[in-house]
Chains A and B, each alone.
Chain A
Amino acid sequence: MTDPNPTAAGALAVAEPVPETALAVAAPADPWARELWFDADVEKHPALRELRTAMPEVIVDVVRFRDETTIHVRREAYREVCRFLRDHPRISLNFLSDTTAVDMLRLRESPRFDVVALLYSLPNRVRLRIKAGCDDGESVPSLTPLWNGANWLEREIYDMFGIVFEGHPNLRRMLLPDDWDEGHPLRKDYPLRGWGEFPVSNAERTVGRVRTRWSGRGAS
């Protein structure tokens, strides 16, 4: 029998023997061929195929645009989907490239936010985008238990969008000061120049002026 799996997954792939039952089904076409990851028909995507088999109820939508695949999943299953894709021996999306969020306020009614995880597979050399929608006030499962790198990225999302991550060990503001009380600036309803001038002026000094040797005049 010829090798049913000649081009699978590049040189770095873990040589995982295909079980016998799979061989019989997959003999005509290799289900793990590299072209399938980039096929125009998104249903041939190996990760999507496995996900549909393992947890079909979590997939909300699948989008393919410019050679990039996006899978929208239910908010509650966000972490479990990522865990499944990370631990699957052949998909092996084991690297978290990026996590961010998009405020969809002007584009759709509900849910308001999209939390985006950009996964990368070191053995297969492919990317996959996972999106989970969440409304204002709803929490999203954190990816920090899976990847430590998600820690700061999710803190940044919390800082910029106000999305709360459930299971995050240290959800504080990242870039803005801890006592920033003007909201979350990357939301679409936050004006570009903020809500007003930063309230610091001489009239609102909290520390009174102290007469010194050099100031001469001195004032209260």
Chain B
Amino acid sequence: MSATTDRPGMLAPTTDTTPDFGVDSTDSVGSLSISNEVALSASERQMTLNMGPQHPSTHGVLRVVLKLDGEVITDCDPVIGYLHRGTEKLGEAHRYSQIVPWTDRTDYVAAPMNNLVCVMAIEKLVDVTAPELAQYWRVIMSELARIASHLVWLGTHALDIGALSMSLYCFRERELILDIFETFCGARLTTNMMEIGGFSRPIPENLPGMVRDFCRIFPERQAEYAALLSANPIWMARTKGVGVITPEAAISYSLTGACLRGSGINYDVRKAMPYLVYDRLDFEVPLGQHGDTYDRYLVRMEEMRQTIKIIEQCLDQCEGMDTPLMAYESPYVIPPHKGTMTTAEDMQRHFIWTIKGFNPPIGEAYAAVEGPKGELGVYIVSDGGPLPYRFRLRHPDFVNLSVLPHMAQGAMLADIVALIGTIDIVLGSVDR
């Protein structure tokens, strides 16, 4: 019914209200020729596409403004800050021991790691060393947090690319880790488990067994994931050669973690500047060769295997060790809870310490750990008062995300979710 006009390839605007299924049309197939397409300028061809902040593949509230030429991304501008809560300003308004819970809320998929780096910075400032057993358990808990974070990354990254079932499997194993956290400190997500000077609560008796069970179960489960993905043609087509970062660009963009090591640069804080007991542990740092999304996937998978090795060594080395868990001899460490309910002196001392806090020496300290996503650092400036003068959180996600425009330049639109996933961001720590 819709007759063609004299202009070839254009359908005449129909005034008829009856539906037109095109069956009567004489030239339905060839009507979309491009012969009459007007040559558009570059700016007219460009389309601006707003992705997020409420988009399931942005892992939170990341907004990315994309400029497209067809399906090719010509420009990319990440807009962040939707989850900004001013953690650094809040840190300046709390006593040193009160900051630790705030760090849970930044990188919330690996909260023990944030607690660890926060107390390490404070301990460096006041020159306190945690007892040996506490150091081992700090390593165990933070390495479990690394696996939990990598599992969330693997599940959501694969989900973005299209492998739906991976997220179900990964979150199943993550539950085991969260159960361990819950047994240890009572919380699953916002753990607040590290304290200045060690741990003030004893290690539960069944905890080493739970961790050993996990170390027994997890490798074979991870082999299943690798069997699902590593040689999967769809997975390889979506990740190989996508988002290539050269070693020079990786250093220039200050990337850390798997983004840096996927490009072949050997920088792992655990090896470069060993902290806690990492100098006694035997593990390897996997490096990528091509710097693409597939290499970063392989690096993180191998990191999980190495992490299991680390945890098993820690459990072996600290077995039967009966050193205290808290460096109570230091005045910067909270006094023992024991006696606070029975004797007035203990209660008063505890009360005064909690209310007044402590005054560290004037100075500044930077502590860094190898977080799940890269170098996680805390920089504290002290003016000698009970509140930190400046509390700076250096989260690797924020710095790593700045490479996204560089990677997205010239990439296909469908790959942007793979690129966001491969950086492994958590918006809580990007925005802080």
Q: Identify the A interface with B (CB < 8 A).
A: 12, 65-66, 68, 70, 94-98, 100, 102-103, 106-107, 116, 118, 122, 125, 127, 129, 147-153, 156, 160, 173-177, 185-186, 190, 192
Is B216's beta carbon under 8 Å from chain A?
no
Q: For residue A116, which residues in chain B have a CB less than 8 angstroms away from its CB?
A: 379
Docked pose: A185 CA to B432 CA in angstroms:
13
5 of the cross-chain contacts (CB-CB < 8 Å) are: A65-B365, A66-B127, A66-B363, A97-B254, A106-B389
Interface window among B82-90, B99-107, B147-155: B82-90
- Residues of chain B at the chain A interface (Cβ within 8 Å): 80-81, 84, 86, 88-90, 93, 124-125, 127, 249, 251-255, 265-267, 272-273, 363-366, 368, 375, 377, 379, 381, 383, 389-390, 392, 394, 398-399, 401-403, 406, 431-432
The answer to whether B402 and A152 touch across the interface, beta carbons within 8 angstroms, is yes
Contact of A175 among B267, B389, B402, B431 (CB under 8 A): B431
Q: Is the CB of A97 within 8 A of B398?
A: no
B81 touches A127 (CB 8 A): no
In whole angstroms, what is the CA distance A121 to B394 when docked? 18
A127 to B394, CA, bound (A): 15
- CB neighbours (8 Å) of A152 from chain B are 398-399, 401-402
CB-defined contacts of B398 to chain A, threshold 8 Å: 152, 156
B194 CB, min distance to chain A CBs, angstroms: 19
> Which of these, A125, A150, A174, contacts B273 with CB under 8 Å?
A125
Question: A94's contact among B251, B253, B273, B375, by CB below 8 Å, is which?
Answer: B251
Known contacts A148-B402, A152-B402: does B84 contact A175 (CB below 8 Å)? yes
A186 to chain B, nearest CB (A): 6
* Contact B366–A118 (Cβ < 8 Å): yes
- CB-CB nearest in chain B for A190: B89
- Nearest CB in chain B to that of A100: its residue: B392
Hey, which chain A residues are within 8 Å of B254, CB to CB?
95-97, 147-150, 153
Q: A151-B402, A175-B80, A176-B81 are in contact. Are A68 and B366 (CB under 8 A)?
A: yes
Nearest chain-B residue to A95 (Cβ)?
A: B251
Q: Is the CB of B402 within 8 A of A122?
A: no
Taking the nearest CB of chain B, how far is it from the CB of A58, in angstroms? 21
A65 touches B267 (CB 8 A): no
Contacts of B379 in A (CB 8 A): 98, 100, 116, 118
Contact of B368 among A97, A129, A160 (CB under 8 A): A97
Is the Cβ of A149 less than 8 Å from the Cβ of B366?
no
Give the residues in chain B near A160, CB-CB below 8 Å: 88
- 4 tightest A-B contacts by CB? A149-B254, A175-B81, A152-B402, A65-B363
The answer to whether A102 and B399 touch across the interface, beta carbons within 8 angstroms, is no
Q: Quick check: B389 and A68 within 8 Å, CB to CB?
A: no
Complex: A107 Cα to B381 Cα, angstroms: 11
Given contacts A148-B253, A175-B431, contact A107 B81 (CB under 8 A): no
Most chain A CB inside 10 Å of its own CB: which residue of B80, B364, B365: B364
Tell me the nearest residue of chain B to A103, going by C-beta: B390
Bound-state Cα–Cα, A65 to B406, Å? 38
Residue of A nearest to B256 (CB): A97
Q: Is A185 a contact partner of B89 (Cβ separation < 8 A)?
A: yes
Residues of the B chain whose Cβ atoms lie less than 8 Å from the Cβ of A106: 383, 389
Cα distance, A95 to B398, chains bound together (Å): 16
B363 pairs with A12, CB closer than 8 A? no
Chain B residues with CB under 8 Å of A12's CB are 266
Chain A residues with CB under 8 A of B402: 148-149, 151-152
Taken together as a complex, chains A and B put the C-alpha atoms of A73 and B251 apart, in Å, by 24
Q: Which residue of B124, B365, B375 contacts A97 across the interface (Cβ within 8 Å)?
A: B375
Contacting A149 at CB < 8 Å: which of B127, B368, B399?
B399
How distant is the Cα of A176 from the Cα of B418 in the complex, in angstroms?
27
Which A residues lie within 8 Å of B93 (CB)? Answer: 192
Q: Are A122 and B267 in contact (CB under 8 A)?
A: yes
How distant is the Cα of A80 from the Cα of B399 in the complex, in angstroms? 23
Closest B residue, CB atoms, query A170: B77
How far is it, in angstroms, between the C-alpha of A102 and the C-alpha of B402 when the chains are bound? 22
Q: How far is the CB of B401 from chain A (nearest CB, A)?
A: 8
Closest residue on chain B to residue A175 by CB atoms: B81
Say whether, besides A100-B379, A125-B273, A70 and B364 are in contact (CB < 8 Å). yes
Which chain B positions have C-beta within 8 A of A175?
A: 80-81, 84, 431-432
Of A95, A129, A151, A153, the contact of B267 (CB 8 Å cutoff): A95
Q: Are A127 and B390 in touch, CB under 8 angstroms?
A: no
Q: Evaluate contact between A149 and B265: CB separation under 8 angstroms.
A: no
Other contacts beyond A116-B379, A148-B253: 17, CB < 8 A: A12-B266, A65-B363, A66-B127, A68-B365, A97-B368, A97-B375, A98-B366, A102-B381, A147-B254, A149-B252, A149-B254, A152-B399, A152-B402, A160-B88, A175-B432, A185-B89, A192-B90
CA distance A10 to B124 in the complex (A): 25
Q: Which residues of B contact A68 (CB under 8 A)?
A: 364-366
Given A70-B364, A149-B254, A149-B255: A174 and B377 within 8 A (CB)?
A: no
A residues near B377, Cβ cutoff 8 Å: 97-98, 118
